[in-house]
Amino acid sequence: MLFNSAEFLVLFLPLTLITFYLALRIFGGVAASSVLLVASLIFYSYWDIRYLPLMLASITTNYLLGVKLRNASKKSWLVTGVAFNLCLIAFFKYTNWFIDTTNVITGSTYPLLNIALPLGISFFTFQQIAYLVDCYRGNFQHKHTFSRYALFVGFFPQLIAGPIVRSGEMIPQFDYFQKQFSPTAEQVARGLLLIMLGLFKKLIIADWLARYVDPAFSQVNSLSSYDAWVATFGYSFQLYFDFSAYCEMAMGIALLFGIALPLNFNSPYKAINIQDFWRRWHITLGRFLRDYLYIPLGGNRKGGSRTVAALMITMLLGGLWHGAGWNFILWGAMHGVFLGTYFLWRRIDISLPTPMAQVITLLCVMVAWTMFRCTTVEDALIMYGRMFTFDFSLPMGYLTLFPFLGNIFSFKATPFYTGMEVIVIISLFAMVTKAKNVHEIASAMQPNWRYATATGLIALITAFNLGAPSTFLYWQF
C-alpha cells in the first residue's frame, strides 16, 4: 500500500486514525497501541501476506535476543543476533546476485532461485541490529513488552523505507499512549502540511521527471551528450524529490499519532562538501553506518590510512546495502573515494570558496547517481562515455530559435529531449540550493487560516493527480 495511493489516503489512514483515537479514549493506551500494531501488520501484509510470518519471526527472535543481552551482555548473544539478521537479509537480497556472479565468473549455469525481496527488509533488519548492539552496550534499558517492541519495528509510517530509528527514540514515545494524550494543534497542522507537501513533491515533481528520465536510462546507446547530462541531472532531482517526499510523508503521518520521527532528509544539495552531504542525505542510514561500522573500524582515531580504509569499507557496504549489484558497490566505492579525498584535502588545510565547493560537491554526487541508477555497470559506462564525448547535439527547439548554432558550430538536432527540461532543471536547482526546505517551513508555521488555505490548495492539486500510484524509489532497497 503506497502513501500516494487513494486506498491509503482515503481509506486506510483515516480508519486507522479514527480507530486509534477511539480505542485510546474508551479503552486506554494498551488498546491504542494494539490498534496501531494491528494496522501496521495489515499495512505490511497488503503487499504480500506470505512475508508477514518472516517479519514476525524476525521481530520475535530479535526481541528474545534483546532480553538476553539486557539481562547479561554476553558477546556471544550479540554475535548470534547480528549473524541471524545478516543471514536473513543475505539470503533474500543477495542469493541470486551471488549465483549470477558465480555463473559469470566461472561459466557455470546454476539456476536462479525463485526469491522475492521482502518489502522493507533492509530497513527493519538494520533497525534491529542497532537495537541488539544498543542492548549489548547498555545504551537502552527502557522496560518494554513484546508488543511495544513489535510496534517499534513495524510502525507503518517508517516500516518500508525508514527512517532507521533507534529504540531509545521510539519506544519511550509509546508511553504517551498510556496518558491518553491528544496531539497538539501544531502537531496535527504540521503533520498534514508535511503529508501534503510530500504528496506534491512525489506526484507533481518526481513522477513528472520520471517520464523523461526512465526512457533515457533504458536507451543509453541512443543518447547524445546533451541527453545524457539532462538524464543525469533529471534523475538526481527525481531521486531527491521522491525520497524527500517519502521522508516528509512518513514524519507527517507519524505526527498525526503524536509520534516524532527523526529527521532523515535535510537539503542535501546545499552541502558544501561530501561529508556534509552524508550528514544531510538519508541521515539515519549515515548515522547507522557511522556508529555501527565506521567507528568500530577505527574511525578517525588510528591515523590517516586507517581512516581512509574505514571510509572505503563503510561506503562499499553502504552501497551494497542499497542493492545486490555491482553498480551499487561501485557507487559506494565512488563515495568512499570522495570521502577519502575530502579527508586528505582537509589535512592540506586549503579552503575553496563556498559556491565553488558546493558546485563541486553537487557535480560529484550527481555523476555518481548515474552509476546508482543504471541497471548494469555496462550501461553506466556507456552513459559516462556519452556524457564526456561532447558530440555537439542540441534539441531541435534550440536550433530553430538559434539557427546559427547549427550553421556555424555544426550542432546537430537530438530528438530525445525538447529543451524545456533544462528550464525545469535550472528552476529545481535554484529551489533545492537556495529556498527553505519543507522542515524549515513546517517548524515555523502556526495553525491559522493562511496555512490551512495553503494546505488545502496543495491537497486539491494533488487530488487531481493521484491516478495510478507509482512506487517510491527507496521501496526497492
Q: 242 falls in which pLDDT band (50, 70, 90)?
A: very high
Mean pLDDT across 204-221: 91
Active site residues: 322
Confidence of residue 398 (pLDDT cuts 50, 70, 90): low
When mean pLDDT is compared across 7-21, 124-138, 328-342, 346-360, the lowest value belongs to: 346-360
Taking only the tens place, the pLDDT of each residue in 69-118 is 988 778 899 999 999 999 999 999 999 999 999 998 888 888 988 888 89
Residue range 22-50: mean pLDDT, rounded = 91
pLDDT at 11: 94
| Residue among 476, 464, 8 at smallest CA distance from 203 | 464
Q: What is the pLDDT of residue 226?
A: 84
Reported pTM = 0.92
**pLDDT at residue 463 above 70?**
yes
Mean pLDDT, the chain, whole residue set: 88
Task: Quote the pLDDT of residue 440.
Answer: 84
Bridge partner residues of 394 (DSSP): 413
Least confident of 277-291, 327-341, 345-359: 345-359
Q: Where are the domains of the chain?
A: 6-182, 187-476
If one compares 36 and 407, the residue with the highest pLDDT of the two is 36
Residue 370 is predicted with a pLDDT of 96
Cβ-in-10-Å burial (0-12, 13-18, 19+) of 5 comes to middle
**Residue of 166, 137, 146, 167 lying closest to 73 (CA atoms):** 137
Q: Is the pLDDT of residue 178 over 70?
A: no
Task: Specify the pLDDT at position 163.
Answer: 94
What's the confidence (pLDDT) of residue 138? 86
Q: How would DSSP label each residue in 118-143?
A: PTTHHHHHHHHHHHHHHHHHT-----
Closest CA to 335 of 291, 264, 275: 275
Q: Are 333 and 315 contacting, i.e. CB atoms less than 8 angstroms apart?
A: yes
Mean pLDDT, residues 342-360 taken together: 89
Cα–Cα nearest to 54, from 111, 80, 93, 17: 93
- Within 10 angstroms of residue 462's Cβ, the number of other Cβ atoms is 21
Q: 525463485: which residue's cell? A: 114
Render pLDDT for 110-160 as a digit per residue (tens, 0 to 9): 898 888 889 899 999 999 999 999 999 888 777 788 999 999 999 999 999
List of residues 6+ apart from 392 with CB closer than 8 A: 225, 409, 410, 411, 412
The average pLDDT across 387-403 equals: 72
